[in-house]
Amino acid sequence: MNYNFNEGAKRVVKDLNELAQFTADENGAQRVAWTPLWQTTRDWFKEKAEKIGAEVIRDAAGNQWAKISGETEEAVAVGSHLDSVPNGGAYDGALGVLTGLEVLRRYTESGEKPKKTIYAIDWADEEGARYGYSCLGSSAASGTLDINELMGKEDLEGIKFETAVSEYGVSPIDMLAANKQFKERNLKSYLEIHIEQGPVLQNSGKSVSCVYGAAGVERHYIKFTGQSAHAGSFPIKMRQDAFLAAAESALAFREIALKFNAVCTVGKVSVKPDVTTIVPAECTISLDQRTINPEDLKNMHEEAKRVVEEAAKKHGVSAEWSKICTVAPQLFNDDLIELCKEAVKEETGEPTNMYSGPLHDAVEMAALVPTVMMFVMSDKGLSHTKEEFTPDEKLETSVRAFMRLVDKVVNG
């Protein structure tokens, strides 16, 4: 029996709608990891996978692997995440997992045994919404998880990480065993389809793209310290205004990002003493700089240090940096990128290619196995909100393109 790509793509959209019906309220999707509704979602996925003949295995970090055996043990994995942020969207993560389900269906329904074994993975806690650790399940599988960072950590209600995950059958001290389990699976490639979560594709009139890598990140706090003074009595030129030094730096960061065709964000600002009539003595800002080019990332960070120094000097304040994290840019696998571009071209007429600003489970995988991603456009670039939207026909185009890619990888 021949597989019908159009019907397959429509089934993914149908599954996404079904999922939204029981996991979203008037504020959006509520599939936050380590909550009852998330568990319900995962059970729903498991049941669907088992119904089509897949074997569902849970690893030590709580990731669910739905497996169908191929002619060889060499395996291809397709994955993403079912968890959402609170008041999240219908497609972020879910598109990838439910497309994975369709990949399994494609073989079980046609009775055609794939050349390679296939896994559809539902990664646990990609969003880090409750404990602030993104890509938790996939980082346990890849072996980069720093469990000490999470032990004892409390959520907003004061519930400890270890208590929360234990309720869902995960033993925190054993989570890294997922890495050993991962290595036993003989994975040869990892593929992930995801919504873009930005406006680039829509702005360029495109709907689907190959993703050739993910941006690296330099993330820091910068604390400016000056002198508080009376807002009425102190002449401007004699002030040591910590806020003005921070503000000048923030504007200069923007210029740096424009120069490198990259992005940067000052998302946090706190001022002390935070009083209308007092010149700020202290101002702390966050800085998040991202680009795909490692050299550029380094230079952008160096330039940021220089402008901070200049702004601090100009306003007579001191500046102190503290690192939040550095993530190196991750380029995906060249051969898979070529296949992915080919698949996108066959479906849309153009071999569109771009890189990802956000991190994804695929970035964790890329360090271990040849990996590539595919993006579908996000209307107005919105995500992590109930307004997240991709029209059905674009979703279907992207699923068809992705199925083509899977075909090339599984049978190639």
Here the tokens at position 37 are 């509704």
User: Total residues contacting Zn ion (rule CB under 5 A)?
Assistant: 2
Binders of Zn ion among residues 89 to 118 (CB under 5 A) are 92-93
Nearer residue to Zn ion within complex by CB, 92 or 125: 92
Distance, in Å, from the CA atom of 223 to the CA atom of 242, rounded to the nearest integer, reads 9
363: enclosing H helix or E strand:
helix 361-366
Q: Smallest Cα–Cα separation from 189: which of 370, 410, 404, 333?
A: 370
Choices 10-18, 88-96, 116-124, 289-297 (CB under 5 A): range interacting with Zn ion? 88-96
Binding mask 215-254 for Zn ion (x = CB under 5 A): ----------------------------------------
Binders of Zn ion among residues 281 to 320 (CB under 5 A) are none
Q: What is the number of other CB atoms lying within 10 angstroms of the CB of residue 55?
A: 12
Nearer residue to Zn ion within complex by CB, 92 or 122: 92
Binding mask 32-51 for Zn ion (x = CB under 5 A): --------------------
Residue nearest to Zn ion (CB): 93
Nearer residue to Zn ion within complex by CB, 124 or 244: 124
Min separation Cβ 91 and Zn ion, Å = 9
The reply to whether 88 sits near Zn ion by the rule CB under 5 A is no
Nearer residue to Zn ion within complex by CB, 139 or 249: 139
132, 149, 175 from 154: Cα distances, Å: 10, 11, 18
Choices 84-92, 299-307, 337-345, 365-373 (CB under 5 A): range interacting with Zn ion? 84-92
Pairing mode, strands 371-376 and 187-195: parallel
SS3 state of residue 345: helix
Nearer residue to Zn ion within complex by CB, 133 or 253: 133
Nearer residue to Zn ion within complex by CB, 239 or 360: 360
| DSSP 8-class letter at 2 | -
Where residue 390 falls (left for φ over 0; alpha for ψ -120 to 50; beta otherwise) is beta
Choices 22-30, 40-48, 86-94, 300-308 (CB under 5 A): range interacting with Zn ion? 86-94
The verdict on whether omega for the bond into residue 273 sits within 30 degrees of 0, i.e. cis, is yes
Angle formed by the axes of helices 5-23 and 94-110, nearest 10°: 130
Identify whether the C-beta of residue 382 lies closer than 8 Å to the C-beta of residue 198.
Answer: no
Here the tokens at position 165 are 């995950």
Min separation Cβ 138 and Zn ion, Å = 11
Min separation Cβ 88 and Zn ion, Å = 9
Min separation Cβ 129 and Zn ion, Å = 11
Min separation Cβ 223 and Zn ion, Å = 32
Min separation Cβ 388 and Zn ion, Å = 10
Nearer residue to Zn ion within complex by CB, 195 or 281: 195
Nearer residue to Zn ion within complex by CB, 97 or 410: 97
Min separation Cβ 160 and Zn ion, Å = 25
Distance, in Å, from the CA atom of 251 to the CA atom of 139, rounded to the nearest integer, reads 35
Contacts of 152 (CB under 8 A, 6+ apart): 160, 161, 162
The verdict on whether omega for the bond into residue 199 sits within 30 degrees of 0, i.e. cis, is no
Residue 76 burial by Cβ neighbours in a 10 Å radius (0-12, 13-18, 19+):
buried
Min separation Cβ 44 and Zn ion, Å = 18
Pairing mode, strands 208-214 and 371-376: antiparallel
Binders of Zn ion among residues 349 to 408 (CB under 5 A) are none
Min separation Cβ 171 and Zn ion, Å = 26
Binding site for Zn ion (CB under 5 A): 92-93
